[in-house]
Amino acid sequence: MIQRISRLKAALPELTELERLIDEGSQHMRIRVPAHIQHGEDHLPFYVIEMGSTRKDAPVLALVGGVHGVERIGTQVILSFLKTLIRRLRWDPAAIEQLHRIRLVIIPIVNPGGMADNSRTNPNGVDLMRNAPVEALQRTPFLVGGQRISPKLPWYRGERDKPMEPENQALTDAIHHALKDQPFCMSLDCHSGFGTKDRLWFPYAKSVDPWPGIDSAHAMTELFEYTYPHHDLYLFEPQAHSYTTSGDVWDYLYDDYRTSQPNGCYLPMTLEMGSWLWVKKNPRHLFRYHSLFNPILPHRQQRILRRHLTFFDFLMSATATMANWAPTDALTQQHHHMAALTRWYPGR
Ligand SMILES: [Zn+2]
């Protein structure tokens, strides 16, 4: 038993760090464990942390990581932000004030079993980002778009007509409840492993056609690029510019949100950290599966943990003020919609 626990601790340092941060910052947090995820003989906690305003209509920012277990850097980036936030709350009234203007929902480790196994999928072999009940509107690329052939092949969606996997049920329940009464909300889901540039993706994954919320994606992109002209790390674009898939959880949650809030403004984003750059700089990455998705040199890991703090800070402020910049009247919506088509769909 003791051996099992110490093996698990060694396999999941991120969970240990999360629980340490919960201890350190508990006075600012409302903590829930709505599910335990089975992993061999263990049941791993699925944590949902809420901070900030308890007002029913406070704008919501959700930060999510560890959907793909092997992409640990996504979880680490969120924990690094959380650590800085907790420590600022000890001495900085501006941080306290900023936090009170929004409701922050953090789910740092969606797939603890997959993370313990250094695997992309959950312990049942299902790719959680292909597992939602959403079908692509056009033909998707073979395998990558999601497949039901076998859990032994990558991008397995799970069996047809089965409920979502327990991790996804806990994730979609938590996000559904956090967003259902909110006119303004954003989420950021942190991944790694695609391309050489850090991408900020917005929906849809299921279609190459412009997403209905593209006006708000454009307004946010413009706001960030205008405010941080020297922080040009990110490629803002629709996910479908890279590839389309079935079963994307954020497609599912966006459509779910719009059903209950047809006039609400929800901007779900995915940060896809471009790990191929790390591989290019250090080909040793090629020899271990885990290191295709995560920086292996300490100085590079430190750099990545620093790199995204600016964007997280921006998201906190942008969520609090979303009513001011998100397009809500028909004229502004049309302006941003046209500008988005010019930027992302030239020739359309
Ligand atoms: Zn991923």
Angle between helix 2-11 and 13-25 (nearest 10): 90
Q: What are phi and psi of 23, to 5 degrees?
A: -60, -45
Cα 65 to ligand 1 centre (Å) = 9
Cα 67 to ligand 1 centre (Å) = 7
Cα 323 to Cα 53: distance, rounded to the nearest angstrom: 16
Answer for the pair 156, 122: CB distance below 8 angstroms, yes or no: no
CA atoms 286, 287, 288, 289: torsion sign: positive
Cα 308 to ligand 1 centre (Å) = 17
Cα 344 to ligand 1 centre (Å) = 23
Strand-pair partners of 38? 43
DSSP assignments along 236-261, one per residue = EEEGGGT---S--HHHHHHHHHHHH-
Give residue 302's pLDDT. 87
Cα 4 to ligand 1 centre (Å) = 28
pLDDT band (50, 70, 90) for residue 193? confident
Report helix, strand or coil for 71. coil
Q: What is the pLDDT of residues 142-167, one digit of tens each?
A: 999 999 999 999 999 999 999 999 99
Mean pLDDT value across residues 102-122: 97
Q: Is the pLDDT of residue 287 over 70?
A: no
Give residue 260's pLDDT. 92
Cα 61 to ligand 1 centre (Å) = 20
User: Within 10 Å of residue 279's Cβ, how many Cβ atoms?
Assistant: 19
Cα 200 to ligand 1 centre (Å) = 13
Cα 70 to ligand 1 centre (Å) = 8
Q: What is the pLDDT of residues 220-265, one digit of tens each?
A: 999 999 999 998 899 999 999 999 999 999 999 999 999 999 999 9
Mean pLDDT value across residues 68-86: 97
Give residue 315's pLDDT. 98
Q: Is the pLDDT of residue 331 over 90?
A: yes
Cα 155 to ligand 1 centre (Å) = 11
Q: Is the pLDDT of residue 179 over 80?
A: yes
Give residue 280's pLDDT. 74
Q: Is the pLDDT of residue 50 over 80?
A: yes
Give residue 303's pLDDT. 86
Cα 121 to ligand 1 centre (Å) = 10
Give residue 264's pLDDT. 95
Cα 250 to ligand 1 centre (Å) = 13
Cα 334 to ligand 1 centre (Å) = 33
Q: By mean pLDDT, which of 89-93, 192-196, 258-262, 275-279 is the weakest?
A: 275-279
Antiparallel, parallel or unpaired: β 198-202 and 265-273: antiparallel
For the chain, what is the largest distance between any 2 Cα atoms, rounded to a whole number of angstroms?
A: 63
Which strand (E) or helix (H) includes residue 107? strand 103-107
Give residue 314's pLDDT. 97
Cα 271 to ligand 1 centre (Å) = 9
User: Within 10 Å of residue 38's Cβ, how many Cβ atoms?
Assistant: 14
Cα 92 to ligand 1 centre (Å) = 34
Token readout for 348 is 């359309």
Name the DSSP class of 204: -
CATH architecture of 2-344: 3-Layer(aba) Sandwich (3.40)
- The rounded percent of the chain whose pLDDT value lies above 90 is 83
Give residue 285's pLDDT. 64
Cα 262 to ligand 1 centre (Å) = 29
Cα 332 to ligand 1 centre (Å) = 33
In sequence order, the 6+-apart residues with CB closer than 8 A to the CB of 87 are none
pLDDT band (50, 70, 90) for residue 324? very high
Which of 168-177, 231-240, 299-308 has the largest mean confidence? 168-177
Q: Is the pLDDT of residue 90 over 70?
A: yes
All structural domains of the chain with their residue ranges: 2-344
Residue bearing the bigger pLDDT, 289 or 109: 109
Cα 160 to ligand 1 centre (Å) = 22
Mean pLDDT value across residues 4-18: 91
Cα 337 to ligand 1 centre (Å) = 28
Cα 164 to ligand 1 centre (Å) = 18
Give residue 25's pLDDT. 98
Rounded mean pLDDT of the chain? 94
Cα 330 to ligand 1 centre (Å) = 35
**122 CB burial (10 A radius; 0-12, 13-18, 19+):** buried
